[in-house]
Every structure is written in structure tokens, then in C-alpha cells.
């Protein structure tokens, strides 16, 4: 994983990277080298630093392994508009 920095606080998409406050991340070594050749600061970072666990309930599964809302029927019986 590579962290790419600019000396300006870009908050835009450039060269297929999404910069937030002048920083972007990529797994692509070619893209990192391309950016470095154009004056961006490129730093290789450890995988564990870039893999932050999400907080909150988003993506959690219940005890049966289903995602929230998966396998539930609607109040009308789940027939939809065609029923």
C-alpha cells in the first residue's frame, strides 16, 4: 500500500486517485511510481496501517451469518407490486 501526498490540500480526484486533504492511497506500484515521477511524495505503508476496521453496526452479521435485513419478509408478505 502506498500513501501519496501533495504539498497542496487537494480534495479532488486525480489520476484515478481520490485525494482528501492532500492525501490518497493506492495498492498499485506503477501508479505510485508515476506520481513520484511527477513530484508527489510517495510513502510505502504497512498493510495493517491501511486496513482499519469499520466502526458501528454497518456490515455486521447476526448469529446465523446473515447480513442485517437479509432473509426478512415485508409486512405485506413480500409479494411486491406484482402479487
10-residue mean pLDDT series, the chain (83 residues): 89 90 93 93 78 55 56 55 55
Output the nine-digit C-alpha cell for 66.
446473515
* pTM of the shown model: 0.53
Sign of CA dihedral 17, 20, 22, 25: negative
Confidence (pLDDT) at 80: 55
Three-state secondary structure call for residue 43: strand
Three-state secondary structure call for residue 26: strand
Output the nine-digit C-alpha cell for 29.
506500484
Confidence (pLDDT) at 8: 82
Confidence (pLDDT) at 31: 94
Confidence (pLDDT) at 78: 55
The residue among 49, 61, 68, 69 whose CA lies nearest residue 3 is 49
Cβ atoms of 27 and 12 within 8 Å: the answer is no
Confidence (pLDDT) at 29: 93
Amino acid at each position: 500500500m502506498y500513501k501519496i501526498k501533495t504539498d497542496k490540500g487537494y480534495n479532488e480526484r486525480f489520476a484515478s486517485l481520490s485525494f482528501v486533504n492532500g492525501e490518497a492511497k493506492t495498492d498499485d506500484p506503477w501508479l505510485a511510481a508515476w506520481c513520484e515521477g511527477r513530484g508527489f511524495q510517495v510513502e510505502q505503508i504497512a498493510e495493517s496501517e491501511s486496513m482499519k476496521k469499520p466502526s458501528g453496526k454497518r456490515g455486521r452479521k447476526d448469529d446465523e451469518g446473515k447480513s442485517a435485513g437479509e432473509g426478512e419478509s415485508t409486512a405485506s408478505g413480500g409479494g411486491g407490486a406484482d402479487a
